[in-house]
Amino acid sequence: MLQVPPADLAVVIVDYNAGEYLRRCVASVLRSTGGAAVDVLVVDNASADGSARSVAEAHPEIRLIENQDNRGLSTAWNQGIRATFAPYVLLLNPDAELWAGDLAGLVRTFEDRPAVAVVGPVVRNPDGTMYESGRRFPTLAEAVGHAFLGPFLPQNRFTRAYRMTDWDRTTEREVDWVSGSCWAVRRAALDEVGPMDESFFLYGEELDLCTRLRAAGWKVLFTPALEVVHEGGVSTGRSRRTHLMHSASVYRYFRKHRARGWGRALLPLAWVALRARAELVALRDRVRT
């Protein structure tokens, strides 16, 4: 059995044809430890580009799990979490790079706040602008307004409320959930509420887990002490298929967490509305190109 050295923090990166982005991601992790003992594990979901094996050969200090098929993001993250033993786990997309701050500071954030289950950093777009990670659970009106107006009029009041746009994200605060492009989880909290729901093949897994953790009394924290730059869409692209997958995950979340009592009567309407939204966004993307 492989002996894994004790670590303060585990970093799990799920790769799917991320190419050069994966190399940059791993390099950013290794130069940003801040002196913390870090166990870096790449879980490869049957990439065809050889990216994961190439990175593992260049950095023998990291570990690699190679799946024979694409198991989806939640399943691969659970797989990586089970294969690590540190008390905290950073879950990182392969097209994200640690940019400012260090992982020792992330560990201290958890140690100083024992009620916090999830920590999310500042996430920047490639041009340096702020991606609005750290959001609230939307009301029904906000969810509907954001779903149909957000892709076309991003400054509408529903989207601004849901994304907490008026907050500049230079301060630390408790939020409902954070972006899954880069988020850290306390293992003890996972042990309490259970692993990620693997029925979320892609999209929505972080929202589902944060919802369950918050319901169990744990806190979710946004902190500007760590920053990442996230390219976005490297492994998935921005196709009609990915928009449909996103809408299916949103529907799954609504059915699981919001369809209570009379709300179950809204399930057929929610499915039709989300499918229509996916088609509209896909049409917008085709027009733009």
pLDDT at 238: 66
Helix (H, G, I), strand (E, B), or coil: what is residue 121?
A: strand
d(CA 250, CA 146): 13
Residue 15 inside a domain? The answer is: yes
The answer on pLDDT for 274 being more than 90 is: no
Residue 18 inside a domain? The answer is: yes
Strand partners, 39: 10
DSSP 8-state secondary structure symbol assigned to residue 96: E
The answer on pLDDT for 283 being more than 90 is: no
Average pLDDT over residues 182-190: 98
Q: Any idea of the CA torsion for 146, 149, 155, 159, to the nearest 10 degrees? A: 0
Spatial CA neighbour of 32 closest among 87, 111, 100 = 100
102 burial via Cβ count (<10 Å: 0-12, 13-18, 19+)? middle
pLDDT at 285: 77
Residue 46 inside a domain? The answer is: yes
Tokens of 194: 């259970």
Residue 80 inside a domain? The answer is: yes
Average pLDDT over residues 230-253: 81
Which residue type sits at 180? G
pLDDT at 168: 95
CA separation, residue 245 to residues 23, 57, 118, 132, 136 (Å): 27, 33, 25, 21, 22
Strand partners, 70: none
Helix (H, G, I), strand (E, B), or coil: what is residue 133?
A: coil
Beta carbons within 8 Å of 58's beta carbon, 6+ residues apart: 23
Range of the domain at 186: 1-134+169-232
Domain count, the chain: 1
Phi, psi of 260 (to 5 degrees): -115, 140
Global confidence as pTM: 0.92
d(CA 134, CA 168): 11
CATH value at residue 82: 3.90.550.10
Residue 126 inside a domain? The answer is: yes
CA separation, residue 68 to residues 30, 44, 230 (Å): 27, 9, 27
pLDDT at 272: 77
Give the range among 69-83, 114-128, 149-163, 186-200 with minimum mean pLDDT: 149-163
d(CA 45, CA 233): 16
The answer on pLDDT for 1 being more than 50 is: no
User: For the chain, what is the mean pLDDT?
Assistant: 92
Residue 224 inside a domain? The answer is: yes
Residue 152 inside a domain? The answer is: no
Residue 88 inside a domain? The answer is: yes
**CA within 13 Å, CB half, 48:** 1
pLDDT greater at residue 54 or residue 283: 54
Average pLDDT over residues 145-168: 92
Q: Are 253 and 207 in contact (CB under 8 A)?
A: yes
